[in-house]
Structures are given as structure tokens and as C-alpha cells.
């Protein structure tokens, strides 16, 4: 499959879209980010509106909504796209159409996330406090819309190759990791975040058994090092072996 180059920016039909805000997030790195929002509710982020959008009037009434849609750009993804992608949900070897997936490698690189709104800070410009997000630090946001449950909650929708949330993997912390955590002010929330992120098993789809390799995932200001272990029944669990400040 030959990747296609992005359409030329001089295309007469193109729209110039400007970020209205930027994300400050617990996820400094792509590796480890849950593949959908809501899977790691302990994840915290701030959406900081940029001038001239940072007028408190622009979010008046938003506090009455519990959930928001964010439309954003996968700014670290390459601009090339191809008609077929390999979703991790299919083990990384079956191909589906790019528009039948939520892949980041797509035309226009647009992302869409449903996030929970925890608070609105208008002391100095506008910042929205979010949880359960799946957004890389620095992500440019193009739009914010309130969630309308009577129009947008379709629990009975058919969902092809992704019919349910992915299974969760058991996660354990070794003594050294527990010790490091205990010395932090954000021990409880960081522990929850690490547990929820690793429960998604962020390893590449083709490595899902136990193996000797140590992986690292960046969360907030730490590198969380973990490995996969098998129990007597051959089931895999992940163990945090070390938490290192970066």
C-alpha cells in the first residue's frame, strides 16, 4: 500500500483552521496513551484557550454540561495517509479502511474525543479542567462542543471490529515502585493513572505474551518502567518495576 501525500495547502478547496486552544496533559509521549478517552479516568488535562478565544464569555453556560466533544489535530502524526490501516484491536496484522478506523494516520489528521468537564478556570484567560482524556501534551484543539445525550448516546449502535472496550490486563507494583510513589504528593492519583494506563497493555499488538523486555511509559513527570509476566495458567500481567523522575 503506497501512502498518499497530503493534498497541497494551495488547494482552492482547502479550509484554513486555527487552534482555539492547546492541551496540557499527563501524557507527554504518544506511547501508552489509551486508544479511546474514558479508559483512564484518572488522566487529568487542562485545555488552555488561546487569544482571541480566551474570553470567559465564550464558555458561559458550559459548566452545565458534564461531557464535551473536542475536535483536535493529531499534530505528531505524519501528514501522509493510506487507504488501509492496521488497527491494534485486530492484532496489528488485519487491514481495514482508514475511515472505518480511528487511526491517527488519516487525511486531515482530525481527532475526536469525548472528555469529562471537571471545572472551568477563568481567573486568567480560560482553562478547562478535563478528566478521562486521551490527548498528548501540546495537542492543538480546533473546537469544543457540548455533548447532547438525547442525540448522541446510541448504546445499541453496532461497532464492527471494536464492539466493546478492550479487555484489561492485571497490573502489579513492585516494592521499589511503591516506595517511590509513597514519597510523592500526587501518590494516589499517579498510582491510579499508572494502573489504568497499564491495564490497557500499551505494548505493541504483536507482543502480547510474557517476555523479558522492559518498557517505559511517560506519565506526568515520570518514566514508568514495566514488564510482562506470566502466571502458572499462562495469563499475562504487567508489573511496574521502577518509577524514575525525568
Nearer to a copy of itself, 35 or 237 (CB): 35
Among 99, 168, 176, 221, binds a copy of itself (CB under 8 A): 99
91 binds a copy of itself (CB under 8 A): no
**Dist CA 158 CA 162 (whole Å):** 9
Among 77, 108, 189, 236, binds a copy of itself (CB under 8 A): 108
Q: What b/e string do you get for 190-224 counting C-beta neighbours within 10 Å, with b at 16 or more?
A: bbebbbbbbbbbbbeeeeeebeeeebebbbbebeb
Nearer to a copy of itself, 105 or 208 (CB): 105
Among 123, 157, 233, 234, binds a copy of itself (CB under 8 A): 157
**Dist CA 32 CA 65 (whole Å):** 29
Query: Pseudo-torsion of CA 49, 102, 159, 91, nearest 10°?
Result: -140
Nearer to a copy of itself, 168 or 231 (CB): 168
Going by the DSSP 8-state scheme, the letter that residue 50 receives in this structure is P
CB atoms under 10 Å from CB of 117, counted, come to 21
**Taking contact as CB under 8 A, which single stretch among the options 61-69, 174-182, 218-226, 231-239 is the one that binds a copy of itself?**
61-69
Number of residues that bind a copy of itself (CB under 8 A): 76
Nearer to a copy of itself, 148 or 246 (CB): 148
Among 28, 129, 142, 241, binds a copy of itself (CB under 8 A): 142
Among 29, 41, 114, 186, binds a copy of itself (CB under 8 A): 114
95 binds a copy of itself (CB under 8 A): yes
**Dist CA 46 CA 64 (whole Å):** 18
The helix/strand/coil state of 22 is: strand
Interface characters, 159-198, with a copy of itself (x: CB under 8 A): xxxxxxx---------------------------------
| 173, 240 contact by CB (below 8 A) | yes
112 binds a copy of itself (CB under 8 A): yes
20 binds a copy of itself (CB under 8 A): yes
**Taking contact as CB under 8 A, which single stretch among the options 136-144, 190-198, 208-216, 234-242 is the one that binds a copy of itself?**
136-144
Among 33, 42, 45, 96, binds a copy of itself (CB under 8 A): 96
The helix/strand/coil state of 42 is: coil
Nearer to a copy of itself, 20 or 194 (CB): 20
Q: What single string gives the DSSP state of each residue in 85-117?
A: E--GGGTTTS-EEGGGS--SSSGGGEEEEEEEE
Amino acid at each position: 500500500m503506497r501512502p498518499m501525500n497530503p493534498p497541497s495547502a494551495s488547494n482552492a478547496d482547502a479550509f484554513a483552521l486555527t487552534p482555539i486552544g492547546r492541551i496540557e496533559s499527563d501524557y507527554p509521549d504518544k506511547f501508552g496513551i489509551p486508544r479511546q478517552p474514558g479508559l483512564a479516568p484518572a488522566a487529568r488535562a487542562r485545555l488552555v484557550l488561546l487569544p482571541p478565544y480566551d474570553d470567559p464569555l465564550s464558555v458561559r453556560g458550559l459548566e452545565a454540561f458534564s461531557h464535551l466533544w473536542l475536535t483536535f489535530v493529531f499534530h505528531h502524526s505524519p501528514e501522509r495517509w493510506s487507504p488501509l490501516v492496521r488497527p491494534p484491536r485486530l492484532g496489528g496484522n488485519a487491514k481495514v479502511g482508514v475511515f472505518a478506523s480511528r487511526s491517527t494516520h488519516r487525511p486531515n489528521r482530525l481527532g475526536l474525543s469525548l472528555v469529562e468537564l471537571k471545572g472551568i478556570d477563568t481567573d486568567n484567560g480560560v482553562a478547562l479542567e478535563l478528566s478521562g482524556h486521551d490527548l498528548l501534551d501540546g495537542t492543538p484543539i480546533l473546537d469544543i462542543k457540548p455533548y447532547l445525550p438525547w442525540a448522541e448516546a446510541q448504546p445499541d449502535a453496532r461497532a464492527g471490529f471494536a464492539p466493546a472496550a478492550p479487555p484489561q490486563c492485571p497490573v502489579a507494583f513492585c516494592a521499589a515502585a511503591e516506595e517511590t510513589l509513597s514519597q510523592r504528593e500526587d501518590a494516589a492519583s499517579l498510582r491510579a493513572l499508572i494502573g489504568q494506563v497499564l491495564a490497557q497493555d500499551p505494548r505493541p499488538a504483536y507482543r502480547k505474551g510474557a517476555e523479558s523486555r522492559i518498557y517505559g511509559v511517560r506519565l506526568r513527570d515520570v518514566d514508568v518502567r514495566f514488564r510482562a509476566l506470566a502466571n502458572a495458567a499462562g495469563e499475562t500481567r504487567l508489573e511496574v518495576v521502577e518509577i524514575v523522575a525525568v
